[in-house]
Amino acid sequence: MPRTRFQKQTSEAPAPEAVEQKDSQVRLRETASQVTPLPPASPDAEILARAQAGDHHAFAHLYSLHKRRIYSLCLRMVGNVAEAEDLTQEAFLQLHRKIATFRGDSAFSTWLHRLSINVVLMHLRKKGLPLMSLDEAMEPSYDDGPGRSFGAPDLSLTGSIDRLALERAVAALPAGYRLIFVLHDVEGFEHNEIAAMLDCSVGNSKSQLHKARLKLRDALRLSLRKGDRR
């Protein structure tokens, strides 16, 4: 029996399941086009993740990236090359033991500096050197003078200053003041980062830096007077 036009159209119409599958594919493509792709992980983050998983090559790479700054910090704090080298090694030994505990609550460099600072401060305590408290009151003392802003650039410490005189003045600072000065004015950390490293407030960090700069200014003035007398 020949098929009617109606029967031919009916037999060639797509099955409901095929129509539904095609619509689903269209919706999936549209949805995918609207999704913002996740940014790829940075190489540093990948290296850190591998080091946390026990990859010794990745840890060696972290060491090569950060050893100079950690050594510089140790050297400026203790003023002795051999001690600074030992403290740098100890800091990275501590890092090797504790790297799995890093959770990304702060930048890795900030966390590493905090760990290294603890190593240095422990060393200074063992040597019996006095450490200025980071919790002292923020009110300026009589020597601070009026109208100065905590944490602002000190113009008296800029310009042409004899480098050796400045290094001697920094080395003569109490350890607490020296630490804040090195972290902020030498290493370039912000006060909020320093506060996180040292478990102190941002205000205390600014206060310590302010007082460190005042002591440096007085020490440099004294050094200049002595130079003029020669």
CA dist., res. 72 & res. 47, Å (int): 23
Q: Which residues contact 124 (CB under 8 A, 6 or more apart)?
A: 77, 78, 131, 175
pLDDT band at residue 6, thresholds of 50, 70 and 90? very low
CB of 131 closer than 8 Å to CB of 124: yes
Which of these, 175, 193, 172, lies nearest to 105 by C-alpha position? 193
Q: Supply the pLDDT for residue 147.
A: 38
CA dist., res. 218 & res. 220, Å (int): 5
CA dist., res. 114 & res. 206, Å (int): 17
Reduce the DSSP state of residue 128 to 3 states and report it.
coil
Q: Supply the pLDDT for residue 37.
A: 44
Q: Per 3-state DSSP, what percentage of the chain is helix, strand, and coil (rounded to 5)?
A: 70, 0, 30
Q: Kindly list the distances between the CA atom of residue 66 and the CA atoms of 73, 99, 112, 191, 201, in Å, as whole numbers in the listed order.
A: 11, 14, 9, 20, 26
CA dist., res. 50 & res. 103, Å (int): 14
Instruction: With a cut of 80, say whether residue 41 has pLDDT above it.
Output: no
* CA torsion through residues 57, 59, 60, 64, sign: positive
pLDDT, tens digit (0-9, with 9 covering 90-100), for 89-145: 999 999 999 999 999 888 899 999 999 999 998 998 887 755 554 444 333 343 444
pLDDT band at residue 21, thresholds of 50, 70 and 90? low
The helix (run of H) or strand (run of E) holding residue 224 is helix 202-229
Which of these, 135, 132, 226, lies nearest to 178 by C-alpha position? 132
* pTM of the predicted structure, to 2 decimals: 0.65
pLDDT band at residue 75, thresholds of 50, 70 and 90? very high
Instruction: With a cut of 60, say whether residue 27 has pLDDT above it.
Output: no
Q: Supply the pLDDT for residue 40.
A: 41
Q: How many residues does the chain have?
A: 230
